[in-house]
Homo-oligomer: A and B are copies of this chain.
Amino acid sequence: MASSSSTSSSSSSSREGDGSSYIECFKYSRRATLWSVVGRPDGGAGLAGERAVVGGWVRSSAVVRARRASGPTSPSRKPEVETTGLTCTEVLMTRVPLIRCIARLMAGGISAAASGGSARRPSVGTALVRINDGSCVADLQIVVDSSLCPLDQVTATGACVLVEGKIEQVEGTAPQHVVQMKVEKILHIGPVDSEKYPLPNAHLSSDLVRGYPHLAARTAAVASTARVRSEMIHAVHAFFQSNGFFHVNTPIITTTSAGNRSKMFRLIRIFSKSDNDSRITPEAVRAAIKEKTKQVEALKRSESNKEALQAAEQDLQRANALSRQLEQGGSTESSPDDFFHCPAYLTPGHTLHLETYACALSSVYTFSTAFQAESLDSDRSLAERWTVDVELAFAELEDAISCTEDCVKSLCSTVSKDCSDELKFLSSSQAGDTTNSRVESAVSSPWQRIKYTEAVNTLLQVTDKTFESKLELGMPLSHEHLSYLADDLYKKPVVIYEYPKQLKPFYARLKEDLKTVSTFDLVVPKVGIVACGAQKEERMDNLTSRIEESGLQIEKLEWYLDTRRHGTVKHSGFSIDMERLILFVTGLKDVRDVIPFYRTKGHAKC
């Protein structure tokens, strides 16, 4: 993939493939990646005549029936052709000479997809098989003669092949697929029963593909999205490292439940008699109880260490509770917090923990997962989201906003540059897609910045459109409001800042008017809010009163307040929603399609 090479140190030069006439073998498996063959700027032309081992999964195939067993491989002789797994998109993407056959075939009225399955396959002839190993968008066509293996084994979509052969130039001057491989030796076949394979061709609905997240990456669309996502992640780390930020691994498990606990996942540990873990049999626990009782008595005799005694007694109580639960059928769900000795949850966000490190290392970020057990109705908001969280000490709101703008622009331009093939492919599968120009202008031109009050007043004066949701000062902006601003009015990313305090979290810094707080949301066209940030309240008094106003349990936040009690500092931060930003650059519509294994209410496959 281009991106790999661009940053590659040792191997880059050889992976550029800009005309060098040998095929580099992938370092950690004895085969050449398709990227090092058809991914080259010259489409592989410079490799014609070279031998190589390549592997991949079958995307589509066609069989040229032979008049002679060693039948013709050049389609120009008007052979009879049967195809499977072909998609118009794929054909458009990869203009192989085979197109002429397909065109004729389509004209003949036979649906390509319909001919999936191996039953009607001829036993002799030549298979033209398009394989892909996920290293780039382009497939490689391999030509397999029926003398090498039963053709139906290598033609079924989804089958895995590892083959050795010779690269040869093919007619046609398409920028991609100027070469194919004449197979001389088959090293491995991972067969597929076409009747049973759930993703038999590329005419698949997103819903169907989503049902098989563990196989979905074999489709061109999901593979392209995965490469874009990977490149985006690399760009995140590149941006922050080159700007002197430190990556901090804030925890996934937290004991801080300051927010709405009904939106948090709580952790429990399960003891089940079916589990073959000797440590947690009732016998083991009884033994433990005996020992702990001895400890307590010993500590009682030597009245020296009160704390140790208390701890030991609590320990004993827990052990007794545990033993009771085991007797009652082996579940500790009645005491969920047994493991950490206090309730533990999945973190809904990383801001609070990251702030503590910003108040020591100054400029920090983390790329990690945030969790929310979202509302009963929603099935689109992810329960497990990836976010980039950033905190800057000695920084004010404007600093956070400009850092967000630089960061998002840098991510978008890197991905546009290094994943151009992927974005082209994804765009081609969405009719009339204008994502590319949207992203380009978002990167090149300055963004709109307006205060919340301006935004509301502007929207209240809108005459050419009526909004379903009510709006007045002090109310949140709904999705249709945001989309009007970004899509219709400004037609570019919009930063809305200075919100009424009741709309934002307790840690946002209160402004002099005592009504608004120093926060911002970044709204991008077609997607909505992709990032939000705030200058944090560094003044102890304001912070505590905001916590009380918000009806939160202040004792859960004592550790957080310590950063204000001791050596407090002005600091600001923001959080970027990775899935939504990937929607923006790819033009895809559903967050469930830009994460490998999506988790939403009622859905958590694998």
Contact = CB atoms under 8 A, between A and B. Distances in A.
20 contacts: A4-B242, A9-B242, A28-B395, A29-B395, A55-B362, A58-B567, A135-B244, A215-B566, A226-B248, A234-B247, A251-B596, A253-B599, A261-B272, A262-B275, A264-B270, A288-B376, A333-B333, A339-B602, A340-B604, A342-B604
B267 A266 contact: yes
Nearest to A135: B362
Contacts of A247: 229-230, 233-234
Contact of A260 (B238, B275, B383, B595): B275
A22 interface: no
A243 B29 contact: no
B342 A29 contact: no
Interface in A370-407: 371, 373, 375-377, 383-384, 386, 392-396, 399-400, 402-403, 406
Contact of A217 (B188, B252, B356): B356
So how many copies of this chain end up in the complex? 2
A249 B229 contact: yes
Given A8-B242, A251-B606, A254-B604, 17 more contacts: A5-B244, A11-B243, A15-B244, A26-B363, A28-B392, A30-B394, A135-B362, A135-B363, A190-B568, A214-B356, A226-B248, A227-B361, A252-B369, A253-B383, A266-B267, A268-B336, A339-B601
Given A190-B538, A599-B251, A394 B604 contact: no
Q: Which of A57, A192, A264, A362 has the most CB of B within 10 A?
A: A362
A158 interface: yes
Contacts of A122: none
Interface stretch (A448-456, A489-497, A555-563, A585-593): A555-563
Contacts of A399: 28-30
Interface residues of A, number: 149
Contacts of A15: 244
Given A237-B234, A237-B237, A269-B265, A569 B250 contact: no
Contacts of A336: 268, 333
A403 to B, nearest CB: 4
B346 A267 contact: yes
Interface string A355-370: 0110111110000010
A218 interface: yes
Interface of A: 1, 3-5, 7-12, 15, 26-31, 33, 35, 55-58, 133-135, 158-160, 162, 188, 190-193, 196-198, 212-218, 223, 226-227, 229-230, 233-234, 237-238, 241-256, 260-272, 274-277, 279-280, 288, 333-334, 336, 339-342, 344, 346, 352-353, 356-357, 359-363, 369, 371, 373, 375-377, 383-384, 386, 392-396, 399-400, 402-403, 406, 538, 551, 559-560, 562-563, 565-570, 595-597, 599, 601-606
Given A29-B399, A568-B160, A604 B344 contact: yes
Nearest to A601: B339
A342 B603 CA distance: 9
A162 B394 contact: yes
B605 A559 contact: yes
Contacts of A4: 241-245
